[in-house]
Amino acid sequence: MSEGSLIHKNDPPLVRAGKALLIYVVLGLGAFVVLGPFLWMLISSFTPDVELMRSPPQLPSNPTLEQYEKALTQIPYLTYLCNSVIVAVLVTVGTVLSSSLGAYAFGILRWPDRDWLFIAILGTMMLPFQVTMTPLFLMFRWLGWIDTLLPLIVPAYFGSAFNIFLLRQFFKGLPRDLLDAARVDGCSEWRIYWRIVMPLSGAAVATVSLLSFLGAWNDFQGPLIYIVSESKKTLALGLYSFVAVKATEWGALMAAAVMMMIPAIVLFVLAEKYFVAGIQLEGLKE
């Protein structure tokens, strides 16, 4: 048991139990507030239209799959799913590689243009999206990439400010002596990056992977800008079209939202093990 925790090992057993109970109550309330909306969404997606429109709302007496049927008959779900997977996986690989390399250079190495470049790159994080979008679209058009998945994927291979910042913060926290020792032993910077820094930064890398995967999965302005054809749409854009035309069919909308969330949640649960393990590993190190 950590010395830093709210429950102290020197506390009398009753106090410890009381504290634990209090924490559980607060955590439970939080979980209710966070999960409640999902639960209601799930319930609504199984409620027939007529029962949905009751005031005050009640549980459905005749659960039905009709809302899912309605949503599915109007969305080429598998096509969207496939596109979303391609984009999200490739974006994640690209972001982790390019951002960690960049973060290493900015966080660990010393070089002439480092500081102003870092500040400039950090600045782009504050840059509202719309400032650069016009010229970017122009460029992708010039390359003939409109209505392809490339504009959604390629930029990830050139780093992203947020992830560089995040990784750099982590890298800077690594013991400097360790890296210097490796350098004295004749390790190349690449080896230090690949063999020492990256393995020690499991948690940070996992965080970045998860965030960039989710970012790509949930992104919808990107697809909206660059994608026109049905066959290239991602899930987010697909659902948006659905919202635009079905603005008040709540049951079908909830069903569509549930279906869009399922892959994200499944992936999250799978990645979460690694994610949590990564954080714990880091905790052990210190």
Partner 1 sequence: MIGRGDAPIVWRDAAIAGIAAFRRDKRPASLMTGGSLGRSLFAVFLAVLMLVPAGAFSAEPVRLTYWNLFTTGDLRVGMMEAVEAFNASRDDIQVEVLDVPIIEDKLPMTVAGGAPPDVVLFDRFRVAQFAALGTFMPLDDRIQRDGVRRDDYFHAAWDECVFQGKTWGLPYNTDVRVLFWNKRLFREAGLDRPPRDWDELVEFSKRLTVPADPKAPLKQVGFVPLFGNTWLYLYGWQKGATFLDAQGNIIINEPQTVAALEWMQKFVEWYGADRIRRFEGGFGANALNPFIIEKIAMVGDEVSLLSAISRYRPDLEYDVAPLPWPKDGVHATWSGGMALVIPRGARHPEQSWEVIKFMCGRDAQTTFGIRAVGLPANRLATEHPFYQNDPKWRVMISEMEYSKFRPLSVVGGTVWEAMVRARDYVSFGLKTPKQALDEGQAQIDAALREATASERLPLVDWSRTLGWLLPLLGAAAAARIVASVRRYRRDNYYRREARWAYLMAAPVILGFFIFSAGPIIASALLCFTSYDVLNPARVAGFGNFGRMFAEDELLPRVIWNTFVYVILAVPIGLVVALGAAILVNQPLRGRAFFRSVYFLPVVTPVIAGSLLWMWLFNSEYGMLNVVLAPIIESVPVRALAAGLTALVRLFAFVSPGLAEVTLVPRVPNWLVDPFWAKPAIVIMSVWGFGQAMVIFLAGLQRIPEQLYEAATIDGAGTWQKLRFVTLPLLSPTIFFNLVIALIGALQVFAQIFVVTYGGPADSTRFYVLHLYWQAFIHLRMGYASALAWVLFIVILLLTLAQFRIAKRWVHYE
Looking only at residues 182 through 201 of this chain, which bind partner 1 when binding is defined by CB under 8 A?
A: 188-190, 193
Rounded least distance, CB 32 to partner 1, Å: 9
CA atoms within 13 A on the CB side of 139: 9
Number of residues lying near partner 1 (CB under 8 A)? 143
256-275: which residues touch partner 1 (CB under 8 A)?
A: 257-258, 260-261, 264-265, 268-269, 272
* Binder among 203, 205, 209, 233 for partner 1 (CB under 8 A): 203
* Binder among 77, 173, 182, 196 for partner 1 (CB under 8 A): 173
15-44: which residues touch partner 1 (CB under 8 A)?
A: 20, 23-24, 26-27, 30-31, 33-38, 40-41, 44
* 62 counts as binding partner 1 under rule CB under 8 A: no
- Residue 226's alpha-carbon distances to 95, 117, 187, in angstroms, are 20, 29, 44
Identity of the residue, 77 or 220, whose beta carbon is nearer to partner 1 in the bound complex: 220
* Binder among 68, 158, 185, 196 for partner 1 (CB under 8 A): 158
103-132: which residues touch partner 1 (CB under 8 A)?
A: 104-106, 109-114, 117, 120-121, 123-132
Rounded least distance, CB 210 to partner 1, Å: 9
Q: How many CB atoms lie within 10 A of CB 205?
A: 22
* 142 counts as binding partner 1 under rule CB under 8 A: yes
Identity of the residue, 78 or 186, whose beta carbon is nearer to partner 1 in the bound complex: 186
Rounded least distance, CB 280 to partner 1, Å: 8
Identity of the residue, 20 or 65, whose beta carbon is nearer to partner 1 in the bound complex: 20
